[in-house]
Amino acid sequence: MKGIGPITIAALVLALLAAFWPLAEARAQAGEALATCIRPIRSGDDARALLARPQGFDCTSDQSSYGVGDYWVLSQPLPTISGDPRDRLAVSFASTWQDATALHILYADGRIRTVAFTSATTAPYLLLGAMIAVPLPGETARPVRILWEAHGAANMRGVVRGARISHHADMLAVESSLGLIYGVIIGIVVGLAVYNLALWPALRQPLQPVYCLLLFFITGYALSSSGLIGQWLPWLDNNERHRWNAIMLGGVAMTLVIFSRYFFERKVFEGWLDRMAAISFVVIAIPNIAFALLAPRWIIALDQAVLLGFMVLLIFLIAVLVRAWRRRSNFLWAFAIAWAAPIGLAMFRVLQALHLIEWRPWIDQSTVLSMGVEALIASVGVAYRIYLLSRERDLARADERVARRLADTDPLTGLFNRRAFLEQAIGRSGPQTLMLADIDHFKRINDTLGHDDGDEVLRIFARTLGAAVGPDMLVARIGGEEFALLADAERAPDPETLLARLRTTGYPSGLTVTASLGLCTGPIADESDWRRLYREADEALFAAKHAGRDRACWGPPIVAASPAGLLPAIHPHRKTTARGEGLCVNGGS
């Protein structure tokens, strides 16, 4: 992750947009655009009469200004479409919330053909991109005009939007291109969700389930807004698809508030921004839940409330980015790059909902595309976030190990201290040999050489002991000039060899330093065993001192109270002292 930076991510975003944007725009470029005029349906209206004498139609006002109701929508005279005249023509327009729709097609010979469907039977005409494409009935004469009859139109953004006429085969070709876009997006999103769910039990980062929930809503929005779910489930009512589209988009918005809170460091959300996050979530949640439960009742008012929630979300996200920049967040670049496109396109959706710009098909389609790009880039951000958290955790563990090592270590000699020695010694299996070593006449050494050289003697003595032990042996300074060594009874160092090594080691001012050793062998399963073993070894050490120092004495071996044969036999040691001077009176030589 160290090699991934903002420039790399930005280049990836631009490459994806460059690859897929032409395909997203293709829907808007298929066929000839049709201008439309609107008028409410009145009692006694007849489609043939309106096509013959189109009067009372409004061709200048925004269709949505008429509100909920039943409407006639009349196209301009249809243009002549180039190409093979045998190819079937079709008219396409955006899918909107309507209970029933009928297309009355006027042909040049005066014939009128009608194609009708309801919200429940829209599926055969629904294409990817949530566009409805109605093939025109074949006639020898060419079609010259189309009159839509819409009943139960919510008319939140218009009754008939983005109307175009083209060859039906061209529309299906464009749908294949859009299928590639949605297939890639959904594949990426589902793959990222599975990946993060698989990693979550191991990493246990709270960001991961929130991110998976966000991916779930993005997938649901892509399926519903594209119309793909309507093709997969042909029995699904088209108005219900619109309802689920609103639910999924609201879920994206609400989860994004939670996601941003978990994505950034705690310092970013301290104080007022934390409260703003809670308020933003509530302002987004209430109208979205109300829309899901109550639409189409009060649908215009609910739609405006949902729009207000999205405006609050945009303000909240901008506040998050500014606060993250001021607090120097490590994750600002990942969040900003991932959400730049969805935030920017959401602004277009808000402007279009406020009727400040005209509706265009690419707004809806590019929103889905940008969410797919966001899912990919956000996954890199999540991975980077987890990487930094893991690195912080590893550093914390390393610091903890260092602190524990310092707490376990004698600062002068670098050996274990008494507490650490006991923690590792008690509980060792099998008979153990404890060796206590005490430097002879150390007070005289300190008085002669001074405390600095005395400390150096202790360090050299400790290094000599450490060099004499194997990897599974313990050595520690347990107080003053007293040291302890613990090893399995069968692999314990030979005391005479150790005494000779200590005696011949170079010390400051050419001083010869000797030591007395007290040894005892026995079990050390618990603290009571340790006390007995230490007491016997300490008495042996006292005997070595009393016998003239520079020698080793053995205490009597301690046999555990256990069934015969469970412990190896312990043979008492009878060793002569170094230089053969005298006998050790405490069971030694």
Is the pLDDT reported for residue 286 higher than 90?
yes
Q: Percent of the chain at pLDDT above 70?
A: 76
Cα separation, 394 vs 396, whole angstroms: 5
Is the pLDDT reported for residue 490 higher than 90?
no
Is the CB of residue 462 less than 8 Å from the CB of residue 414?
yes
Cα separation, 275 vs 278, whole angstroms: 5
- The lowest-confidence range among 11-25, 184-198, 260-274, 499-513 is 11-25
Is the CB of residue 318 less than 8 Å from the CB of residue 340?
no
> What pLDDT does residue 97 have?
93
Please name the helix (run of DSSP H) or strand (run of DSSP E) that holds residue 429, with its range, or none.
strand 428-439
In this structure, what token pair is assigned to residue 386?
């987890």
In this structure, what token pair is assigned to residue 503?
């005696």
> What pLDDT does residue 160 have?
92
Cα separation, 341 vs 336, whole angstroms: 9
377-387: average pLDDT: 62
Q: Within 13 Å, how many C-alpha atoms sit on residue 155's CB side?
A: 20
> What pLDDT does residue 234 have?
86
Residues 6+ apart with CB under 8 A from 233: 123
- The lowest-confidence range among 99-103, 556-560, 563-567 is 563-567
**Identity of the amino acid at 186:** I
Is the pLDDT reported for residue 492 higher than 70?
yes
Give me the helices (H) in 409-526, please: 418-425, 442-449, 451-468, 495-504
Q: Percent of the chain at pLDDT above 90?
A: 26
Is the pLDDT reported for residue 424 higher than 50?
yes
> What pLDDT does residue 436 have?
92
SS3 101: strand
Which of 359, 449, 460, 451 minimizes the C-alpha distance to 413?
460
Q: Is the pTM of this model over 0.75?
A: no
Is the CB of residue 510 less than 8 Å from the CB of residue 452?
no
> What pLDDT does residue 174 have?
79
Which of 462, 452, 446, 454 minimizes the C-alpha distance to 413?
462
Please name the helix (run of DSSP H) or strand (run of DSSP E) that holds residue 60, with its range, or none.
none
Backbone angles phi, psi at 386, to 5 degrees: -65, -40
Read off the pLDDT band of 564 (50, 70, 90).
Answer: very low
- The lowest-confidence range among 82-96, 290-304, 392-406, 519-533 is 392-406
Place of tokens 């994505």: 263
405-410: average pLDDT: 69
Backbone angles phi, psi at 135, to 5 degrees: -65, 135
In this structure, what token pair is assigned to residue 583?
């006998």
Is the CB of residue 108 less than 8 Å from the CB of residue 144?
yes
Is the pLDDT reported for residue 18 higher than 50?
no
Is the CB of residue 289 less than 8 Å from the CB of residue 320?
no
Read off the pLDDT band of 507 (50, 70, 90).
Answer: confident
In this structure, what token pair is assigned to residue 311?
């405006």
Task: Give pLDDT tens digits for 331-371.
Answer: 787 777 766 666 666 666 666 666 665 655 555 555 566 55
Higher per-residue confidence, 218 vs 386? 218
24-34: average pLDDT: 61
SS3 75: strand
> What pLDDT does residue 149 have?
94
Please name each of the domains of the chain with its CATH number: 27-172 (2.60.40.2380), 205-395 (no CATH), 418-559 (3.30.70.270)
The CA distances from residue 373 to 10, 18, 345, 378, 537, in Å, are: 11, 12, 13, 8, 73
Cα separation, 427 vs 362, whole angstroms: 72
191-200, 202-211, 312-321, 570-579: range with highest mean pLDDT: 312-321
Task: Give pLDDT tens digits for 106-159.
Answer: 999 999 999 999 999 999 999 887 889 999 998 888 899 999 999 999 988 889
CB atoms within 10 A of CB 206: 10
